[in-house]
Amino acid sequence: MNDGGDEPMELVVVGHGPTGHRLVEALRERDTARSWRVTVIGEETRPAYDRVALTSYLTEDADLACAPHDAGVELLTGDPVVAIDRAARTVRTASGREAPYDALVLATGSAPFVPPVPGHDLPGVFVYRTIDDLDALRDHCANLTTSSPGTGGVVVGGGLLGLEAARAMQGLGVDTHVVEVAPWLMPRQLDEGGGAMLRRHIEALDMKVHAGTPMEGLEAGDDGSVARVALSGGTAIEAGVVVFSAGIRPRDALARECGLPVGERGGIVVDGSCRTEDPAIYAIGECALVDGQVYGLVAPCFSMAEVVADRLLALASGGESPARFDGADLSTKLKLMGVDVASFGDPFAGPDQGALDVTYTDPVAGVYKKLIVSDDARTLLGGVLVGDAESYPTLRAYIGAELPGSPEQALFGGTEAAGGDLPGATVICSCNNVSAETIRCAIRDEGLTDVPGIKACTRAGSTCGSCVPLAKKILDAELTAAGIEVSRALCEHFEYSRAELFDIVRVRGIGTFTDLIEQHGRGRGCDICKPVVASILASLGNGHILEGEQAALQDTNDHFLANMQKNGTYSVVPRVPGGEITPEKLIVIGEVAREFDLYLKITGAQRLDLFGARVEQLPLIWKRLVDAGFESGHAYGKALRTVKSCVGSTWCRYGVQDSVGMAIKLELRYRGLRAPHKLKSAVSGCARECAEAQGKDFGIIATEKGWNLYVAGNGGMRPRHADLFATDLDDETLVRYIDRFLMFYIRTADRLQRTATWLEGLEGGLDYLREVVVEDRLGICAELDAAMDRHVGSYSDEWRDTLNDPAKLSRFVSFVNAPDTPDPSIVFEPERDQIKPVLVTGPRLEVAAP
C-alpha cells in the first residue's frame, strides 16, 4: 500500500502489444500520485503498434507505432520473460535480468493457430500476426513474383484477419485464393446470407474463395518450398506462398509453468477483476480466459485493461475497486477490400430466443442487411450489414434498446438522425467504452468543435474508427444547440464539403486525387473521399475512369464497367436511347446472349440487360456490341442511366409531342454524365403519363404548347413525386433548363445524395432553384451552360476506350496466371429456357471459442 509518502509499488507488465500499452496509458493517466513504478517487458524488438491496422503496413507503408509512454515507464524490448517466481514475486527474462513486482500483469496476447496438416512447416508458409511476419511475407512474395509471376497464393482462414491477409497478399501482386472450412466467410460474425454477399464482393476483385472446403495438406515443389495446397475432394491449388490465419491460441505458457490455472483449451483463468488465482497476478487481453471465453477483439481487451488500471489504483491506496469485466460488446465494423461489413449484437438469434429478423437483399448493388428484433418488433437485438454499413454506429448504439421507429426505418437509415437524442448511457465507442454523455460533456466542457478533438479528449474513435460517424452526429447536435456553425467536412482527410471540393478541382484545374490531397487535404484518403473525388474528376471530364490513378479510386462496378451480380458474374447493359431499337440491333443483342449463354431481361427502364457474364468475357461482349453500334449504358455508374419514353405523337392517338425523339435527344446529350448519385429521366407524350416522368430526377410531359418540366423526383424505397419546375417550354428552353439543373446539382450536392433529398435540403427549395436556373440569381448560368457543353463535346464511350487500350484490358481476367480459364465456382442451371445462377450453400457451422 502507498499512502503518498512511501516508495512506489512495483508493477511489471509482461507483453507490450496494444492491450499492455493501453493498461499502462490508463494507469499513468489516473495515477497522479505516481504510486506505481511501471516496468514493461516486451518480446518483440519494437514497442507497441496498432495490430488492427496491420494490413496498412503492407498496403500503405503506414506507421503503426502507438504513442510512446512517458519517462516514468521503463520499457524493455526484445527480451521476453521466460519464468515467474510467484514466491519471490520476480520475473526473469531471456537475458537473465530479474524484475521484482508487487503486481504482475500478463498481457502476452495470442499466437496464430496453425493446423497440424502435412507440410504446414514448409518454406513459403507464413502466419499473419506481427510486423516481422509481414516483412517476411513481403520479401517472399517479391522473390516469388519476380521468378514465377503466375504463381498463386493461398490464405487458410476466411475470418477477419484471414481476409485482411488475403487483401495484403493480393496487393503484393499474388493471385490469391481464400480457403475456409465453414460454408461461408466470417462465420463468427455473419450469417449465411451476409457471408454469401461478402463472397460475391470479394470474388469480383479477382480473388477466389473456397468455402466449405477443408484442407488436407501442403505439398512441396522441386526446391523444397510449398508449391500446392491439397483440398478435400481431390482438388489442388498451385501456390508458392501460404498464409495461415485459422484462429488464435492464448499464449499462456508462463502461467502454466508457474502453476496458475489455465483453461482446457487454453487461456489464463481470471475472475471478473481480471485477477488470477494468485492475487498479485492479473491477465488481460487475448491470453485471458474470462467466464470460459477468450476475447480476440480490441474492445474487450481494452476494457480489461481499464478494469485492471482501476484495481491497481485502489490497491495502492489500500482500497478495493468495484471495477469488473462482465463481458463485452463483440460488435465489429470494418472495410474488407473496399466492402463495408458489420455485425452487432447477436446476429444469430432466432425464434427459439424470441427473435424475429427483417432482411433486405439487393444483389445488383451488392447490399445485404439483416436486423434481429424482439418478437414484438420493438427491441433491437442484433444485425448484419454487408455492402452498406453507414447505419452501423446508430444501430449498434440501440442494441438492447427500443427502436425509435419501425425495423424497416432502422434498416434504411431512419435512426441516423438520432445521434443527438441517444440516451446518455449509450456506449458509442465500444473499443474504449465511451458513452454518449461522456462525449457530450467533453464537447461542452472542453469547447470541442471537431472529431479530432473528441478523439484526443475521450479516445472515442481513436481505435477502429467505426464510431466516428455517430460521434460526429453527437458533435453536430451539440454545436447546433449551442448556436455554433457545424462543419460540413467530407471526411477527416478534407475539411471541405463535396460541393467545395468540386469548386476547388474546377477552379484550380486539379486533375488527380494525389494533387488534390497534397494541396488541400491530408493523409492518404479513405473509402469516403476517394470515390467522391473520382466522381468529381469524371464530372469535369478529367480522363477515362480507368486511366492511371483514377482506376484505383473507383467502386467495384465502375472498376469493371459492369454491374456485379449475386454469383460474382456481371450484367452488361448497352445504351438503347429512348427505348428505340432497330431490328438489326435487337438481333445482335439476341445473338450475343446466345453466344455467351447470358440471361436476357427487358428492364423496367426500357433496356435490355444481359446477365451472367464472367469478368474475362466482358471485353468480348463489348466488342460485339460496339461493332454493332452500341455503347455503354452506364448501368454501373453514378451517372445518367436512361431516359424512358412512351411512343408519343408518332404512334399514339393521344400523343401531342414526339416523346421518343425528345428522350433520345436528352439521353444522348447527358450520357456518361457523372453525378453524386444515379440519374433517371422520362418523357411522356401527353398528360396520361405512360412513361411515369413524375417519378424521375427530371421528367418531361408534353403539352399542346411544348413541354412541362418536373424535377427532383425518385422511385425506389422512398418514392418522391417530382415538383413542377416550368410549363409549356419550347425544345431549346427545356434543354437549357435541364442543363443548368443538372450541373447545379452536380456542383452542390453531397456525396450519394439523390436530387430529391438535395432539393429538400436546398435553402429556399424549388423557388430558389428557379431563381438560380431561370433568373440567373447567382450569375453562374453561363458557367453551367459551358460546363454542359464541355461534357457533350468531350463524351467518349468507356467500353470502346477500354477495348482500344491493352493496359486497361489486362484487368479483365478471372485468373492472372490462367487468363483464358473460366472460374469453375460460377455455376448455372436452366430455368424458363435461360440460365439461372446456382449458389452453393450449406448448414451453419458453429465454431467454439478457443
Tell me what percent of the residues of the chain surpass a pLDDT of 90: 36
**What pLDDT does 752 receive?**
80
Would you state the CATH architecture of domain 422-486?
A: Orthogonal Bundle (1.10)
CA 305 to chain centroid, in Å, comes to 28
Q: pLDDT for 3-29, tens place per residue?
A: 445 689 999 999 999 999 999 999 998
Q: Rounded to whole angstroms, what are the CA distances from 375 to 191, 194, 380, 412?
A: 19, 22, 10, 20
Lowest pLDDT segment from 42-51, 157-166, 368-377, 547-556: 547-556
Region 329-409: CATH code: 3.30.390.30
**Residue 217 one-letter amino acid:** G
What gap in Å lies between CA 771 and CA 766, rounded to an integer?
9
What gap in Å lies between CA 850 and CA 842, rounded to an integer?
23
Q: What is the mean pLDDT of residues 426-444?
A: 81
Cell of 141: 512474395
CA dihedral 195, 196, 199, 200 (to 10 degrees): -150
Q: Which H/E stretch holds residue 439?
A: helix 436-446
| Higher-scoring residue by pLDDT: 810, 668 | 668
Which residue reads 431490328 in cell numbers?
583
**Residue 352 one-letter amino acid:** D
The pLDDT-based confidence of 334 (bands split at 50, 70, 90) is confident
Per residue in 377-402, is it b (16+ CB within 10 Å) or e — as a string? eebbbbbbbbbbbebbbbbbbbbeee
Phi-psi region of 531 (alpha: psi -120 to 50; beta: other; left: phi over 0): alpha
Q: What is the mean pLDDT of residues 70-88?
A: 93
Contact 236, 245 (CB under 8 A): no
Contacts of 632 (CB under 8 A, 6+ apart): 561, 573, 574, 575, 622, 672, 797, 798, 799
3-class secondary-structure state, position 657: coil
What gap in Å lies between CA 351 and CA 345, rounded to an integer?
16
**What pLDDT does 416 receive?**
45
Contact 660, 634 (CB under 8 A): no
β-sheet with 90-93: strand ranges across: 81-85, 90-93, 98-100
The closest of 61, 330, 176, 69 to 816, measured between CA atoms, is: 176
With a cut of 90, say whether residue 838 has pLDDT above it. Answer: no
Tell how many helices (H) and how many strands (E) occur in the chain: 27, 38
Would you state the CATH architecture of domain 9-112+250-316?
A: 3-Layer(bba) Sandwich (3.50)
Q: Rounded to whole angstroms, what are the CA distances from 114 to 125, 155, 280?
A: 10, 12, 33
Enumerate the β-bridge partners of residue 822.
Answer: none
Tell me what percent of the residues of the chain surpass a pLDDT of 70: 89
**What pLDDT does 501 receive?**
87
Class of domain 125-246: alpha beta
Contact 241, 842 (CB under 8 A): no
What average pLDDT does the chain have? 85
**What pLDDT does 164 receive?**
85
Contacts of 147 (CB under 8 A, 6+ apart): none
What gap in Å lies between CA 18 and CA 51, rounded to an integer?
7
**What pLDDT does 846 receive?**
29
What gap in Å lies between CA 388 and CA 469, rounded to an integer?
14
**What pLDDT does 156 receive?**
94
**What pLDDT does 841 receive?**
39
Which contacts qualify for 590-594: CB closer than 8 Å, 24 or more apart?
Answer: 591/624, 592/621, 592/624, 592/625
**What pLDDT does 836 receive?**
80
The pLDDT-based confidence of 656 (bands split at 50, 70, 90) is very high
Contacts of 825 (CB under 8 A, 6+ apart): 203, 208, 209, 210, 568, 840
Q: pLDDT for 575-590, tens place per residue?
A: 888 888 888 989 998 9
Q: What is the mean pLDDT of residues 496-523?
A: 86
**What pLDDT does 415 receive?**
45
Contact 647, 627 (CB under 8 A): no
Q: pLDDT for 593-648, tens place per residue?
A: 898 888 888 777 778 888 888 888 899 999 999 999 999 988 888 899 899 999 88
What gap in Å lies between CA 557 and CA 535, rounded to an integer?
13
What gap in Å lies between CA 849 and CA 159, rounded to an integer?
13
The pLDDT-based confidence of 414 (bands split at 50, 70, 90) is very low
Across 470-474, 529-533, 754-758, the highest mean pLDDT is recorded for: 754-758
Would you state the CATH architecture of domain 639-796?
A: 2-Layer Sandwich (3.30)
In this structure, the number of other CB atoms found within 10 A of the CB of residue 507 comes to 8
**Residue 590 one-letter amino acid:** G
Lowest pLDDT segment from 57-66, 204-213, 680-689: 57-66
Lowest pLDDT segment from 102-116, 148-162, 170-184: 148-162
Contact 335, 375 (CB under 8 A): no
What gap in Å lies between CA 635 and CA 792, rounded to an integer?
19
The closest of 189, 177, 133 to 152, measured between CA atoms, is: 177
In which residue ranges of the chain is CATH 3.50.50.60 found?
Answer: 9-112+250-316, 125-246
What gap in Å lies between CA 352 and CA 245, rounded to an integer?
33
The pLDDT-based confidence of 763 (bands split at 50, 70, 90) is confident
Q: What is the mean pLDDT of residues 385-393?
A: 82
With a cut of 70, say whether residue 320 has pLDDT above it. Answer: yes
With a cut of 80, say whether residue 286 has pLDDT above it. Answer: yes
Contact 635, 571 (CB under 8 A): yes
**What pLDDT does 825 receive?**
65
Q: Is the dihedral of CA 96, 97, 103, 107 positive or negative?
A: negative
Q: pLDDT for 124-175, tens place per residue?
A: 999 988 999 999 998 898 887 555 544 789 999 998 888 888 988 888 888 8
With a cut of 60, say whether residue 346 has pLDDT above it. Answer: yes
Cell of 387: 455492402
Q: Rounded to whole angstroms, what are the CA distances from 682 to 542, 573, 615?
A: 28, 18, 31
What gap in Å lies between CA 620 and CA 633, rounded to an integer?
16
**What pLDDT does 421 receive?**
64
